[in-house]
Structure 1
Amino acid sequence: MNNNEWVKWTDSTLMEKMIILSQDEVLKYFLEESYSLELLLRLLKYQGVDGIENLYNSIVSGKPKQPAFDRYLKRLENFNLICKERSGDKRVWGIYLTDFCIQRLHFSKLTFRDMSPTLVKSIDESFTYSSRKSMSSNFTM
């Protein structure tokens, strides 16, 4: 594949993913702000981020002031797309994509497999767990 074909392929692939994302009733919230998609990709790639401030500082896209960013995170949390958990430090909140969000990404064909070991691992585990669970329920009937 030459350079022009590569650019064309990556542009069309990314555009297709953005269209699919925009058509999902919940995942579309990751396209609301100028930094939303970058936020999604960072949380996928790094399997979450320790510290809201660290996450805010890592965003390179245009971003609002910290209070508006915090409100946006709260909005994503209300839609069950991200969760905040106390990290090992206890003074810092870790920000993670929820299992619900990861499953929506998977079933929307938005796997971003090249970027997200979390997505691949969680999907594999959930399918393994659900198939084990269904097999065990078949044996107990």
Structure 2
Amino acid sequence: MKDGIHIRIVTAASTVYDDMVSYVELPFSGGSVGVLQDHAPMLGAIEDGVVTARKDSGTEEFVAVNLGVANIVHNEVTLLVRAAERAEDIDLARAQSAEKRARERLAEHSADLDVKRAQIALHRALARQAAVRMMKGQ
């Protein structure tokens, strides 16, 4: 595809997604941002959530992401994120178990609880589940 948007989602370990698409929706802090071809340059904070990448064919792909930065310039969208996982690679039962564990930890209110870490785990589990639901059209 000559026209379109090149999107790359990168973690410290690897490139999780790298493709040409016609539309991207990003989970920015403060709300979702849709990106079409020739979007104005933009730099922003990525929140825990799901990146939606739509191809010219109309098919959509979903990637769960956790905290990072997005750079949009000259039809290039680059996300540098803490963690990313394509929806088709997510084990839904594992994500649901992670959510349950995180909620249980947060409900404990123990003195040695790392609240921030438990909240991060909860948000990641919820983003992973959302990506799978979106992939399945639910």
Q: TM-score range by the shorter chain?
A: under 0.3
TM-score (norm 1): 0.23
Higher strand share: 2
TM-score (norm 2): 0.24
- Name the larger-Rg structure: 1
Higher helix share: 1
